[in-house]
Every structure is written in structure tokens, then in C-alpha cells.
Amino acid sequence: MVEIRDAKDLERLRQIQNKRKLSFDGFEGKVKEIIKNVKENGDKALFKYTEQFDGYEANSKSILVSEREFDEALKKVPLEHKNIIECAARRIERFHEAFKPKSQFMEENGSILGVRVTPVDSAGLYIPGGKAAYPSTALMTIIPAVVAGVRGIQIATPAKGGIANPYVLYIAKLYGINRVYKIGGAQAIAAFAYSTKTVPVVDVIAGPGNIYVALAKKMVFGDVGIDSVAGPSEVMVVADESANPVYVAKDLLSQAEHDELAGCFFVGLDKKLVLQTEKLFVEYAKSTVRNYITKISAKNSVFMFADNLELAARCVDVIAPEHLELQLKDNYGFMNMVSHAGAIFIGEHTPEPIGDYVAGPNHTLPTSSTARFFSPLSCETFMKKSSILHFTRKGFERVAKCASDFAKIEGLFAHGESVDARFNNN
């Protein structure tokens, strides 16, 4: 148990989080080489990497999922699973529709000013395949783009042996997406960013992936938009003596089972609760079905006792966690003390897995402290804003002299003359 009592303890916590952050050391050269090769050689390089990493003969026909493959996939997904997926999909759609950014305008004495919000033309969605292919991830990646109104949606998903995950294909078909490519890794990101003869360029790339995908997205950002650069998953729970230690320990474990690098942080306002929770968590980590992962990820856990709510809030902002659970007597009061978190789960009946599947808000969230500046995947990821300005003669005359004088301050005389020509033309 780590005791948080002052700024020195908070600095120790910051160092712990810094060590967890995704390190690209040793990967940059390889990813840069892959991107350069695909950018310069297009399909030839893309097919070569696909054969090398996914183990099937890749060409312009074989990497694109056929109607026959879609039909076969639909047969492989049991009806019960389809019903579950569609139940979750309806809730996710409803949430994203409700919070889709909208154009706004204001009028003031002869002027109309505003923001016009429109979707990007195209998006490349990366959906992990194989053992890491989760239907929930496909829903959370596809639905915001569809709701945003993106017309050209393409999917890249790795397919070992040339066989794409049937759940990914089922959900793609559910939303009318026919261009699904059986490609993965940095080569898929490069194809989306720079295009090949088979894969058209896109405006935005979104979706989680491994370290090669994360680094490739980081490298192509600026040529295309991206959602974020994802690192290892993490959860932070803040609780006081009112919390149930069994609930807390199991919530931490639900994140620990994701992968060996998952981060689990607990901040307790009561020492007895911290010790109880830590003991239960260690026991559960040994006995879970996925203990081959949780026994390792449990070693990344940090259990803390905070002297007061203010220190606990500062702990949260140091970590800026992907998932933040609050199990306190005054959850909303504490939430207003916190500035940085990807998603906030309030109360003992809102465990993090509810957000993973059926709550509605997106589960693709900023990790590794990037919640300080990144936001969850949403419709906004696939939309952009244009400023709108319209002045009547009356409105123009109200501000023209100020604009002309400002141009003179900056020594941009043609700017001033552009304004003065209208101002003096009565």
C-alpha cells in the first residue's frame, strides 16, 4: 500500500505511470520502413506484408472480403449472439445520435456568426482480428462513423490464413459496409493514409490496435486525422468506507484480464478498505479463468491510501486514467474535483464492464494519461467544423475601423485597404 500524503508522494505516482506509458523504443525503424515501403510501392508492399504476417496469398481480390465470405460469416454467428449484439448496438447508436455535434449560429446587430459541422468524406476503421477481435470493439468503432454521416467507410482487420473474424463481418454488414480488407498492422494504416491501387486514401483513421498500429497512426497523423494513440488499458477506482471491497476488487480484475500490461489503480480513503481490497484482488488474480494474464498484470497494480479527498483527486489527475470508477458517499462532489479521465463510472452499480458493452458511451478511450488532451472516440472524431461569418453593411460598419486599425498595428497594409475600400465606399 502506497500512502499519499504530500506532493512528493504524488511525484512518485507520476513516475509509476510514466514507466507504464507505451514505449516505442525499438519499433520506430521497422514501422517507418513499412510505411515508406507501402507509400512508395503500394499494393506490392501491402501484399508482401500481408503474406508475411497473416500467412495467406494476398492480391487485390483476396484481401477484399467477398459476398460469399460475408454470407458464410453471417451463418457462423449464432442467432442468440446476433440478438445480444443488436441490443447493445441500439443503445450505442442512441447515445451517439444524442450527442452528435450540431451546427450553431448567433446573430448580433448586422452579423451572423457560427460553426457549421460536417462529416469527413471517408474513414478507415481499424478493427483488431484473431484472438483480439471483440464484437463490442467493432460496434464502438463503426457506429460513431455511421451516425456522423461518413459516406465512405472502409475497414481493415487482420485475418490469419485469410479468414476474417465472422463477428467483425457480421457487424460491418449490419451497417452496410462492404469494403472490408483482410489486412492489419502498420501496413494497413499506411494504405489508408497514402492509398494503394486497391485501398483508397481516407480522411480519418480510427480504432485500436497493437503497438505497430499505434505507432503507425502516430507517424501518419497530419497527413490524415486519427482518433488517438492507444496504450495499455487501465482502470482507477476511488472509494471510501462506504464501498464494498468485493465489488472494487472484481472491477479492478475486469480490467486486469485484458492484457499483461493493463494498469489497475485503487485510491482508498480508508486504510482498512485498501488492505481488504488489495488482499481480495491478489486472490482473485490467481484464481480467475484468465489467470495466465491476471497473475502478471496484477503486478502492475497500485493500491493507495489518500489522506483526504483533495489528495485523492490529485492522484486521479496525475494518472488521468482511461476508466475512473467512483464509489464514494458524494460521487458527484468528488467528480467536480477531477479534471482528467477518459470515462467516469459513478456509483457501485456502474462497473466498468457496463460501459464496455451496453451503456452507450464509447469504450474506445484515451490511455496512458492522454485523457489530459484526448477524448473518447465519438461522432466528433469523424466530423469537422467550418467557421461561418456573414456581415451586412450595418454590421460591417460597426467593426470595420477596429479591423483596419488592427491591420496597421501588424503592418499588413493590404489587409487594411481591403477593409477601407468598403468602409469609404458610400
Which residues are known catalytic residues? Answer: 322-323
Amino acid letter for position 415:
H
Q: In this structure, which long-range contacts are made by residues 80-88, counting pairs with CB atoms below 8 Å and at least 24 apart in sequence?
A: 81/135, 81/167, 82/170, 85/135, 85/139, 85/167, 85/170, 85/171, 85/174, 86/174, 87/358, 88/136, 88/139, 88/357, 88/358
- Is residue 4 helix, strand or coil? strand
Cα-Cα-Cα-Cα dihedral of 111, 115, 120, 124, to 10°?
160
How many CB atoms are located within 10 Å of the residue 200 CB? Answer: 14
β-strands 122-126, 111-119: how paired? Answer: unpaired
Strand partners for 236: 265, 324
- Is residue 352 helix, strand or coil? helix
DSSP 111: E
- Is residue 80 helix, strand or coil? helix
Q: By the 8 A CB rule, do 153 and 172 touch?
A: no
Q: Where are the alpha helices (DSSP H) in 77-197?
A: 79-98, 135-148, 166-174, 185-194
Rounded to 5 degrees, φ, ψ at 34 are: -65, -45
How many CB atoms are located within 10 Å of the residue 7 CB? Answer: 10
